[in-house]
Structure 1
Amino acid sequence: MPQKRARSQEAIEQRYQDILNTARKLFLVKSYDQISLVSLAKQLDISRPSFYTYFPSKDALFLHLLKEEGLGFAIDIQNHFRDPLSLEDFCMDLIQLVLNRPLFMKLLSVPFTNLHCSQTAEDLLQFRAEVRPFFKTLFQIFKQQFPETPDSEIWSAIRKYYLLISTIANYDFFAQIQVEEKLDFFGSDSPSSPAQFYSDMLYKLYQNYR
């Protein structure tokens, strides 16, 4: 059967959404290196030249999904954190909201060193500009929670949070090893849930913030 061509603007938009929907499913269950644009194009029955008009590289597709998920997460936390909370609740909710977005959690776990440098400097500058609302929203939420903390320390708290949540996707892997091999990654007790483990870590990091 000949490969399909998008002929109308509506068909082009539908194809674009089909690519994103399929990519979301793949990035959720496969590692970055296991995903190929060639196989993705075949799965969607799209010629490679046509596919590359939508996303010229896997890096471009990955960054688009990361931006999309990050901005969606920013809306989630903006809607959720209306007032300051107890520190314990604040930390738990920050983690739970990430856990509610499994694709975001998985994309965060991909080191930027895994990207194949196919993006130009202009592409990366545009990406940084487009994800700025994510960090601005985090700043607003953290400043609301810690009004007496200097801005420089707020940004430090955000960096700690970002680095911490980028490891959540790997938690179950280490927890399972601990159970099977009787190792001591998480202390002498049985591994806690990801929500409890990471919220406890945040609490320890933020307990001196005001």
Structure 2
Amino acid sequence: MSWQRARTDEQIEQRIDEIVQATERLFERYAYDEITFVMIAREADFTRSNLYKYFRTTEEVLLEILMREMTNWRIDVEKSLRGRSWTVQEFSRAWMASLKRHRRMMKLFSIMNTTIEKNSTLEKLIEFKRHAMVEWGGIGVVLAGIFRFRSEESVMQFVYAQLAFVIGASPIWEMTENQKKAMEVAGVMMSEAEMEGMFVGSIESLLRGVIVA
């Protein structure tokens, strides 16, 4: 890159996009704990000092990616679930399908509390929390338009409960060969279809607990 200082908001956003896209490419090839600031700078064709002007840590870049992934998922939910009648079981399968279409988001959620947030600045964390509230609110609007919930609070109870579920479940789709082999030898290996069925059942149970039958 022939480096020129970003002076306008548009140029700054372009630089941030370049950093995010470079990190996304790395995230497809490496585990999150293998990605370093130096690797991101090299992939984005930035110097480390220039990268530092936009993000303070690798985790802050991942937090930016997670915010974008959340927005993409909310848009997907609006397009795929809104405007039609669902049974609880049908909805649970469609909800699970939407999560599977956004596996990067699920992977990032699985390390959000243990790694990403711990190594991000207060300023970036506040930005993330505000962004998350907007996106969860958008998801809640879609849900409230499909089912009759016991209360307004019940809508967000489901949103937050399924978030905890996503954080716990997502690593199962990203197991290493050693992990798969260990489960197979131990006799606890399930097919992806069996795991998905179990997850759909869990979502269905969560939903039935907060809606009016």
- Aligned equivalent of 1:102: 103
- Answering whether residue 185 of structure 2 is matched by residue 181 of structure 1, we say yes
Hey, what's the Cα distance between the residues in 1 that align with 2:139 and 2:117?
29
1:68-95 deviation digits (Å, cap 9, x = unpaired): 1001111111122223411111111111
The answer on whether the counterparts of 2:183 and 2:189 sit within 8 Å (CA) in structure 1 is no
TM-score by length of 1: 0.82
Structure 1 residue 100: Cα displacement: 0.8
The answer to which structure has the higher helix fraction is: 2
Alignment of 1:91-170 (within 5 A): 91-115=92-116, 117-170=118-171
Cα distance change on mapping 1:105 and 1:118 into 2, 3 Å:
closer
Hey, what's the Cα distance between the residues in 1 that align with 2:90 and 2:28?
28
Question: Which residue identity lines up with residue 46 of structure 2 in the other structure?
Answer: I
For structure 2, list consecutive stretches of 5 or more residues without a partner in the other structure: none
Structure 1 residue 52: Cα displacement: 1.1
- Aligned equivalent of 2:56: 56
Question: Which residue identity lines up with residue 100 of structure 2 in the other structure?
Answer: L
Structure 1 residue 13: Cα displacement: 5.2
The answer on whether the counterparts of 1:96 and 1:195 sit within 8 Å (CA) in structure 2 is no
- Aligned equivalent of 1:16: 16
Moved more, 116-125 or 160-169: 116-125
Hey, what's the Cα distance between the residues in 1 that align with 2:192 and 2:53?
46
- Aligned equivalent of 2:32: 32
Moved more, 22-31 or 88-97: 22-31
The answer on whether the counterparts of 1:74 and 1:133 sit within 8 Å (CA) in structure 2 is no
Structure 1 residue 177: Cα displacement: 4.3
- Aligned equivalent of 1:5: 3
Hey, what's the Cα distance between the residues in 2 that align with 1:85 and 1:105?
24
Moved more, 116-125 or 81-90: 116-125
Hey, what's the Cα distance between the residues in 1 that align with 2:162 and 2:150?
16
Alignment of 1:80-95 (within 5 A): 80-81=80-81, 82-95=83-96
- Aligned equivalent of 2:201: 200
Structure 1 residue 120: Cα displacement: 3.6
Structure 1 residue 203: Cα displacement: 1.4
How many pairs were matched up?
A: 205
The answer on whether the counterparts of 1:109 and 1:166 sit within 8 Å (CA) in structure 2 is yes
Hey, what's the Cα distance between the residues in 2 that align with 1:206 and 1:171?
22
Secondary structure at the aligned position of 2:193 is classed as coil
The answer on whether the counterparts of 2:162 and 2:206 sit within 8 Å (CA) in structure 1 is no
Secondary structure at the aligned position of 1:6 is classed as coil
Q: CA RMSD in A?
A: 2.7
1:100-138 deviation digits (Å, cap 9, x = unpaired): 122212211214221374434333222211222211022
Hey, what's the Cα distance between the residues in 2 that align with 1:207 and 1:116?
32
Question: Which residue identity lines up with residue 48 of structure 1 in the other structure?
Answer: R
TM-score by length of 2: 0.81
